[in-house]
A and B are shown apart, each in its own frame.
Chain A
Amino acid sequence: MSDWEKTVDEAWVREIARIACLRLTEDEIAEQTVQLRQMLAALDSLREFDTREAWKNAAVETDALREDVVERFARREELLAAAPAREGDFFRVPRALEREGEQNG
């Protein structure tokens, strides 16, 4: 058994889903665990691929950077209107900080 096989179980996938901000059902966790193990098994031969020589020769491509000038986006209202919830000129989100003295359920 290789080391990732010991790592990749349902508890670990549940933690990955938490990091990815993705709520999954128990069935989905089970399915994703199987699929992730299959993928990692397929990727094992990639790891043995010796490309140090190739990497050494890697060229850096030139990017087309524009001048660093501040521009005001003229369509502020439409940006706000595209949000699921807004309040005046703000995006509305659930409270991120607890009020002093308030306990979270």
Chain B
Amino acid sequence: MADPLSIEVLIQRLETGACSARELTEECLERIRRTEPLVGAFLAVDESGALAAADASDRRRREGRLLHRMDGIPFAVKDSFCTEGLATTAASRLLEGYLPPYDAEAVAALRRAGCVLLGKLNLDEFSMGSSTRYSGLGNTRNPLDLSRVAGGSSGGSAAAVSAGEIPFALGSDTGGSIRQPAAFCGVVGIKPTYGAISRYGLIAFSSSLDCVGTVTSTVAGGATVLELLMHRDGRDATAVGHPALASLRCVNDGVGGMRIAVMEGIDGETPAEEVRAQVRRAADCLMAAGARVESATLPSPGQALLSYYVISAVEAASNLARYDGVRFGNAMEGFTPEERAAATRGALLGKEVKRRIIQGTALLTGLLRERYEPAARHAREWIRLEMKRLFESFDLIVTPTVPMGAFGLDESLTPLEMREQDLSTAYANLAGIPAVSVPFGRDRNGMPLGMQVMAPAWQEARALRAARILEEVEKG
């Protein structure tokens, strides 16, 4: 595998004329050609579109009309972002070949800055999963060990950045879908505050949890991309924008004087000693950098996390009702509209998506609705309040992203291991707060582990400053 590409280095190469945007794009395309047969991160590569965009960037540079310092930097996006004229599938056979007539706002914002879209990346179908094994359209492997998963659902995004195919990717994170694959592939994953980035044109999974975010090889690179994405957008009523998001250039300001809570495991589950050792090492590093570090726990929120499964299932069932074989994608035959919808969904949706539709629909029905849905909403509020209370005493919370490294492609997980995939990460989605996963340490198989830094709402800059410290220690 090639070394990961750093956005800062590439910006510098373009600024000094060491290479043109076209050469940079050609280099990425060449890396993709070499790497894809092994890794399988991409579902589609738009070679001609990318070269045309790179040529346009070079023209702007010659004419002194650069759109942004990122002008000419290549990227790719999870295939759940609509891209005008480029097939968008959510890795589902139901949407295979679907050509959206518009760009998602996050994609459009990057194009407005002159970034060059190279293609679309694999995911668990409709973003439902933690391994990318539930993709309906392809297999993605972990570039650091091809016998292991890349994580998910944004597995293609993490794998492509880790394999050095592209300098950055967009992903989406509903319960950890950016941070977990980033941890598994040894790259930086950022889920910002709920509402920081418009989701217009992102294929919806669970609307009260879904966040657009980034995968990069460095913390500073992530901050640079985030700045381009965080703004108000009237087409997503939750995209409020916030003055605190205007600049993230303070990532190198350190953690001096910060109060940081460190948790070995988030809810009393004790992770393996190798993971706990890394948490202690992270605490030492942050302390050495001038932070006041204390260990802390969330008071018994184990059951509260169950609200994640209720909320995400019921919202998924509602959001996926639109795939009825009428307006987009593929359809099977049927004598009535209902029969056609049922046949289409039955034949073209994968097992995991069907499971969540059934569970979500069941949880919205009669007795079960009365029983679980209000309890889930209450439990989410409880988590929000608990997090708020913790942030009265602490500036940041640090936990392992996932208490294990990437597992094998053929390995089936125990129910506890499966729950651990979401355990630490879903809190940030339920609370709506920003969280960053940064590579830190390795497991007994030599696979990277991730450390997660959570901050109060709109304080992504603070989380990035701590992530930067951990990154510096790791990169030496």
Residues of A within 8 A of B (CB): 3-4, 7-8, 13, 16-25, 28, 32, 35-36, 39-40, 42-43, 45-49, 51-52, 54-55, 57-58, 61-67, 75, 78-79, 81-85, 91, 93-96, 105
Contacts and interface: CB of A to CB of B under 8 A. Distances in A.
B449 interface: no
Contacts of A95: 336
A43 B337 contact: no
Given A49-B379, A55-B378, A75-B102, A36 B358 contact: yes
Contact of B232 (A28, A35, A64): A64
A44 to B, nearest CB: 9
A62 B99 contact: no
B99 A82 contact: yes
Contacts of A75: 101-102
A45 B309 CA distance: 13
A57 B385 contact: yes
Given A22-B349, A75-B102, A46 B375 contact: yes
Interface residues of B, number: 68
A47 B378 contact: no
Interface in B232-255: 232-241
Contact of A22 (B330, B354, B368): B354
A39 B418 CA distance: 13
B379 A93 contact: no
Interface in B325-346: 325-331, 334-343, 345-346
B361 interface: yes
A83 B303 CA distance: 43
- 9 closest cross-chain pairs (CB), A and B: A66-B234, A23-B346, A51-B378, A78-B101, A84-B331, A75-B101, A54-B382, A20-B361, A46-B306
Nearest to A51: B378
Given A63-B238, A82-B327, 12 more contacts: A20-B361, A21-B342, A22-B349, A23-B345, A23-B347, A25-B346, A35-B355, A35-B359, A43-B372, A54-B378, A75-B102, A94-B337
B382 A51 contact: yes
Contacts of B362: 8, 13, 16, 36
A49 B375 contact: yes
B292 interface: no
Given A21-B338, A54-B381, A84-B330, A48 B358 contact: no
A31 B163 CA distance: 37
A82 B100 contact: yes
A15 B377 CA distance: 26
B375 to A, nearest CB: 5
Contact of A81 (B99, B235, B240, B339): B99
Contacts of A23: 342-343, 345-347
A67 B232 CA distance: 13
B378 A22 contact: no
Contacts of B306: 42-43, 45-46
A7 B367 CA distance: 9
Nearest to B364: A19
Contact of A82 (B237, B328, B376): B328
Contacts of B341: 21
10 contacts: A22-B354, A28-B354, A49-B303, A49-B375, A51-B378, A57-B381, A79-B101, A82-B100, A83-B326, A83-B327
